[in-house]
Amino acid sequence: MFYYTTIATLLAVMFYFYTTLQVARARGVYGVKAPATTGHADFERVFRVQANTLEWMPIFLPSLWLFAYYLSDAFAAALGALWIIGRVMYLIGYSQAAAKRGAGFAVQMVAAAGLWGGAVYGVVHRMLGP
């Protein structure tokens, strides 16, 4: 069973849902009517946090689960938690100013790269045998 990876997945989806709600709230606050995605710089930053999170989830989620399956549930979940922490940092920084998003982006990118690299290693190692 992959209890820890399941928890990391649920937290990642919860974070994404939160960013989606933030976009809906920002539409009202800044008067940006759907389907527009531009119109106020503060809205655009909130929107980009949500969109960028969505853009990274197809890299993050399969890598998380393949890493858990082939290597370690607990270690996958730890890297998953790091990815979420990076996304939160990204949200906080980008909400303040576009120039402040870099640290959070770097943290989540390193976590995703670690998951992907570990998944590749695990698959290849299993294919080639002991």
Q: What is the DSSP string of 39-91?
A: S-HHHHHHHHHHHHHHHHHHHHHHHHHHHHHHT-HHHHHHHHHHHHHHHHHHH
Cβ atoms of 80 and 9 within 8 Å: the answer is yes
Cβ atoms of 67 and 76 within 8 Å: the answer is yes
Angle in degrees, 0-180, between the axes of helices 3-30 and 41-70, rounded to the nearest 10: 170
Q: How far apart are CA 93 and CA 59, in angstroms?
A: 22
Overall number of domains in the chain: 1
Print the domain residue range for 18.
3-128
φ, ψ for residue 49, nearest 5 deg:
-60, -45
Within its chain, how far is the Cα of 24 from the centroid? 19
Residuewise pLDDT in 10s, the chain (130 residues):
999 999 999 999 999 999 999 999 999 999 999 999 999 999 999 999 999 999 999 999 999 999 999 999 999 999 999 999 999 999 999 999 999 999 999 999 999 999 999 999 999 999 998 7
> Residue 23: which CATH number?
1.20.120.550
| pLDDT given for residue 130 in this prediction | 73
| pLDDT given for residue 66 in this prediction | 98
Q: How far apart are the first and last CA of the chain?
A: 23
Q: Let me know if 55 is exposed, middle or buried by CB neighbors in 10 A (0-12, 13-18, 19+).
A: exposed
Q: How far apart are CA 3 and CA 17, in angstroms?
A: 21
